[in-house]
Structure 1
Amino acid sequence: MSLPRIGVVIVTMGTRPRELEDLLASVDKQDVPAARVVLVGNATSLDDVATDATRIPLDENLGCPGGRNVGLELLRDSGDVDVVVELDDDGLLIADDVFRRVQRLFAEDPKLGIVGFRVADEDGCTERRWVPRLRADDPMRGGPVTAFLGGGHAFSMPMLRQTGLWPAEFFFGHEESDLAWRALDAGWEIRYVPELVLQHPRTSPARHAVYYRFTARNRVWLARRRLPVPLIPVYLGVWITLAMLRMRSLTGLKAWWGGFAEGVRTSCGTRAPMSWRTVWRMTRLGRPPVL
């Protein structure tokens, strides 16, 4: 059995130097070395980072998906790797066999497109929002799913060549859903593998000032891009209701509705809705594309 070559992409803004140093060390200690590691600096020079990785400093902040695309394009065009592992710059691989396990998973299943890692905090706990399924009571239950976490995952390079890369225009928020839905629609499998662990500090996505605006805007864009027409109002209605029930900030409320309006009035990019067959497949996997 031929084992795939592993590549790694990490995007940083240079604001977490100690965490990035620890992450790079955890990548270096893997018992199967990466064929190539790419470090992308979103609006940062990377001059102070001590690493043998390929460094790509960017003059502007392209957002997480845009920055990741820079690294993915380099690896895709080089032909050096078959599987790409992407990691948050404040994450940490606590085991040294992660890449070996990833290799085996992709070698054994040619239709495997995405492997999602389990994210755990410093105490080893996995928050419910980090489990990529609606029934999130058991974070150790792996298997086929319809979503994955952006903090730690692996992509099949043949899948990326077929489906395309991250939606860079999203900048922050729901880019994982856009890519996951495209992968499922193209017939690829997404698998949650809880034995693959990325340690990540407990944080709230709302710590980002643009969280509410981008969350609302990108949900509208996602629906307009990827859903059959009858499901668009259903999806948006569900998420308007949930957002209003969860909202605890007047500032956040104003930003959320501003983002929603932006999503309605601005271009969502190329529309390529999923097939009804994919809708049914996602429903059978436990998460229809309206939740």
Structure 2
Amino acid sequence: MSTGAPRPTIGAVVLTMNDRPDDFPKAMSSLLAQEDIDLDIVVVGNGCHPAQVPDGVRTITLPENVGIPQGRNVGAENVKGDFVFFFDNDAVLPTRDALARLAAELQRDPHLAYVQPRIADSDTGVTLRRWVPRLRAADATRPGTVTVMAEGVVMVRRSIFELAGGWPGSFFLFHEGIDLSWRLWDHGYTGLYKPEIIVHHPATNPARHATFYRLNARNRVWVARRNLPACLIPLNLATWILLTLWRVRQPAALRASLDGFREGLRSDPRYRAPMSWRTVWRLTRAGRPPIF
């Protein structure tokens, strides 16, 4: 691939808990097969020593599971490159030019903070609604500016990632992409969705995690408390409560969601930097007012 731009330098971060012995080697093979880039890869063992790692790939062993956002922060601190690519260990890059094409978008537009490909199930080709980074997600093939991201497969400009403070490490799991995206936008940058660049990923259900409903609710509250002007926080949380009451039908799941909501209100989100009203307006113009 030749675009006339300098050969991009990319640091790739992959987390593992050694729990995907079939998927992980495929993910790594597809990553190592990428062409026309200078690639530095680190595999972070989240509470384990990484296994099945190809020769020449560096590893980091964390003695305990610090959660996905903080694990990715550790990885980002230990790879080189102008851009950082965060890659789930059960995803596959089906073409050899995927990373070069993502990087080309960041090279082309200096105001672009991150670019996300279209994530699709490898067997069915289906793109789940939660993988499409906008409110109107019926057409997963529509490209354009986006205000959130699917955290597991995304490329970020390192300089602005570091300026924004990286992933919210205290979240452990869920909604860290909204938090980071809002902070990137608040620094004057934007996000881009490029559905013609496809990454394969199994269509798993996030509710398979035992703590899904509690952490999902807690982190939604933290996102609002950390990032929104004070008068928008009640609007954001009221919208979430109404949607939760409408969507969640199982009593146990609803109780866990409400427990997480209370936890989010009572606990320390460890950060408070309200976005500017200019950012609120920019997000709204881009199609996602920050009360949703």
Alpha-carbon distance in structure 1 between the residues aligned to 2:22 and 2:55? 13
Is contact 1:225-1:270 (8 Å) kept?
yes
Is contact 1:24-1:51 (8 Å) kept?
no
Gaps of 5+ in 1: none
Question: Could you say what secondary structure the match of 1:93 adopts?
Answer: coil
Alpha-carbon distance in structure 1 between the residues aligned to 2:170 and 2:154? 21
The count of corresponding residues between Structure 1 and Structure 2 is 287
AA aligned to 2:216 is T
Alpha-carbon distance in structure 2 between the residues aligned to 1:36 and 1:72? 11
Q: Where does residue 71 of structure 2 map in the other structure? A: 67
From the superposition, tell whether residues 34 and 4 of structure 1 become closer, same or farther in structure 2 (CA, over 3 Å).
closer
Residues 28-67 of structure 1 mapped to structure 2, 5 A cutoff: 28-67=32-71
- Tell me if 1:246 matches 2:247: yes
- Tell me if 1:22 matches 2:26: yes
Q: Deviations over 1:227-278 (max 9, x none)?
A: 0111101000000111111112222112111111111111111210111111
Alpha-carbon distance in structure 1 between the residues aligned to 2:168 and 2:256? 22
Q: Where does residue 217 of structure 1 map in the other structure? A: 218
Alpha-carbon distance in structure 1 between the residues aligned to 2:268 and 2:172? 14
AA aligned to 1:132 is P
- Tell me if 1:5 matches 2:9: yes
Alpha-carbon distance in structure 1 between the residues aligned to 2:55 and 2:89? 14
- Tell me if 1:101 matches 2:105: no
Alpha-carbon distance in structure 2 between the residues aligned to 1:100 and 1:222? 32
Q: Where does residue 120 of structure 1 map in the other structure? A: 120
Is contact 1:8-1:34 (8 Å) kept?
no
Gaps of 5+ in 2: none
Shift of the alpha carbon at 1:4? Answer: 2.7
Alpha-carbon distance in structure 1 between the residues aligned to 2:152 and 2:171? 16
Is contact 1:118-1:194 (8 Å) kept?
yes
Q: Quick check: 36-45 or 244-253, which moved more? A: 244-253
Q: Percent identity?
A: 45
AA aligned to 2:174 is G
Alpha-carbon distance in structure 1 between the residues aligned to 2:142 and 2:42? 31
From the superposition, tell whether residues 259 and 51 of structure 1 become closer, same or farther in structure 2 (CA, over 3 Å).
farther
Q: Deviations over 1:108-148 (max 9, x none)?
A: 11111111121101221212222111111211111111011
Is contact 1:6-1:83 (8 Å) kept?
yes
Q: Where does residue 230 of structure 1 map in the other structure? A: 231
AA aligned to 1:250 is P
Shift of the alpha carbon at 1:33? Answer: 4.5
Q: Quick check: 25-34 or 116-125, which moved more? A: 25-34
Alpha-carbon distance in structure 1 between the residues aligned to 2:257 and 2:163? 33
Point out 4+ residue stretches in structure 1 off by more than 4 angstroms: none
From the superposition, tell whether residues 23 and 48 of structure 1 become closer, same or farther in structure 2 (CA, over 3 Å).
closer
CA RMSD of aligned residues (A): 1.2
Alpha-carbon distance in structure 2 between the residues aligned to 1:41 and 1:255? 29
Q: Quick check: 186-195 or 243-252, which moved more? A: 243-252
Q: Deviations over 1:88-113 (max 9, x none)?
A: 11111111111211221121111111
Alpha-carbon distance in structure 2 between the residues aligned to 1:47 and 1:21? 10
AA aligned to 1:38 is V
Question: Could you say what secondary structure the match of 2:239 adopts?
Answer: helix
Alpha-carbon distance in structure 2 between the residues aligned to 1:149 and 1:263? 22
Q: Quick check: 46-55 or 90-99, which moved more? A: 46-55
Shift of the alpha carbon at 1:222? Answer: 0.9
Residues 102-251 of structure 1 mapped to structure 2, 5 A cutoff: 102-122=102-122, 123-251=124-252
Alpha-carbon distance in structure 2 between the residues aligned to 1:211 and 1:127? 17
Shift of the alpha carbon at 1:48? Answer: 4.1
